[in-house]
Amino acid sequence: MAMALSLSVRIAESRRAKDVAAIPIDDLAARAKAAGFAGLSMQASVVSVHSPRARARQVRALLDRLGLRVSMVTGDLPLAINNAAATASLHGPTPYLDLAECLGCRLLRVMLHHEDDIGVARRAADEAAERGMALSHQMHWGSLFETVDGALDVLGKIGRDNFGVTLEPANMLVNGTAHGRSAVERLAPYLRNVYFQNIRLDPASALIWRSRRRGPVGVRYLALGDKSGIDAPALIEALKRVGYDGWFSVHQPLADGEDAGAAIRHAAALFLPML
């Protein structure tokens, strides 16, 4: 069974505010469907736990009409920007699970910052399991999932079948951990989702990601197919080797001056033949 291609609504977010959509969801969803995407990865710029429930129902109705699914839900702005409040979906998971359920999605993104979050994550996973849902933690700077070793240690301590990981090679590159075939093989039992954005390390860049283990790291976005950053074909081949058949989500932000429609079509044309 092949992987399914998803587009993160991040592509439509304003560069100045991650809770503001620069492109209406009606337009974005229609463009994604026309290009061949099977789903959207949902973020707070479109709908969040703070939105009226009618908004979530409206988004669900739109996607149902287009035949699109929601691959994963990032339920609030702190989780998207990874600030001190990013663990809220673990400490009070009910409204986040309600949102995901309303959108017809069974996968909720969460974040752990401290060892104290592990027990909370177990309880949140248990609540999710009661509703037939799963939680996934992105490999991400500033969290307990910066490295493969760290992720596996925490996953073992949580010990819940419905708590898994979202592979994200760009973050793994920044954090100085393996992000190729060996990493895919080690994380394979826990893979719930894959995010793809393409970067290279650049000390001169003004864009800084703050890794716990490496400190501030300068990064520069590249075109999706540029193999001088993350080698997408090699990554997808590694995923196929371990039998991964879940979502592959394009999580790349829109470049300055880039047309959203053209970017969506390009991403689909690049990844659909590989998947």
**Which domain covers residue 185, as residue numbers?**
4-199+231-274
What is the full per-residue pLDDT of the chain (275 aa) written as tens digits? 689 999 999 998 865 566 667 789 999 999 999 999 999 999 999 999 999 999 999 999 999 999 999 999 999 999 999 999 999 999 999 999 999 999 999 999 999 999 999 999 999 999 999 999 999 999 999 999 999 999 999 999 999 999 999 999 999 999 999 999 999 999 999 999 999 999 999 999 999 999 999 999 999 999 999 999 999 999 999 999 999 999 999 999 988 888 899 999 999 999 999 99
- Computed on alpha carbons and rounded to an integer, the radius of gyration of the chain in Å comes to 17
Cα–Cα distance between 123 and 92 in angstroms, integer? 10
Q: What pLDDT, on a 0 to 100 scale, did the predictor assign at position 27? A: 96
Question: What is the residue whose two structure tokens read 């933690």?
Answer: 137
Q: What pLDDT, on a 0 to 100 scale, did the predictor assign at position 41? A: 98
Is 235 inside a domain boundary? yes
Is 217 inside a domain boundary? no
Residue type, 139: M
Q: What is the DSSP string of 106-154?
A: -EEEE---STTHHHHHHHHHHHHHHTT-EEEEE--TTSTTSSHHHHHHH
Q: How many residues does the chain have?
A: 275
Structurally, how many domains does the chain consist of?
1
Q: What pLDDT, on a 0 to 100 scale, did the predictor assign at position 20? A: 67
Is 211 inside a domain boundary? no
If you count DSSP H runs as helices and E runs as strands, how many of each does the chain have, helices first? 11, 11
Cα–Cα distance between 220 and 230 in angstroms, integer? 12
Is 214 inside a domain boundary? no
CATH number where 40 lies: 3.20.20.150
Distance of CA 221 to the CA centre of its chain: 17
Q: What pLDDT, on a 0 to 100 scale, did the predictor assign at position 175? A: 95
Q: What pLDDT, on a 0 to 100 scale, did the predictor assign at position 219? A: 96
Cα–Cα distance between 27 and 246 in angstroms, integer? 25
Is 147 inside a domain boundary? yes
Q: Which of 129, 166, 150 is nearest to 121 (CA)?
A: 129
Q: What pLDDT, on a 0 to 100 scale, did the predictor assign at position 13? A: 80
Cα–Cα distance between 141 and 170 in angstroms, integer? 10
Cα–Cα distance between 138 and 156 in angstroms, integer? 16
Which two structure tokens, joined as six digits, stand for 272?
Answer: 């659909």
Is 226 inside a domain boundary? no
Alpha helices in 20-91 (DSSP H): 25-35, 53-66, 77-81, 88-91
Helix 25-35 / helix 53-66 crossing angle, nearest 10 deg: 30
Is 104 inside a domain boundary? yes
Q: Which of 49, 91, 109, 62 is nearest to 249 (CA)?
A: 109
pTM above 0.85, yes or no: yes
Is 96 inside a domain boundary? yes
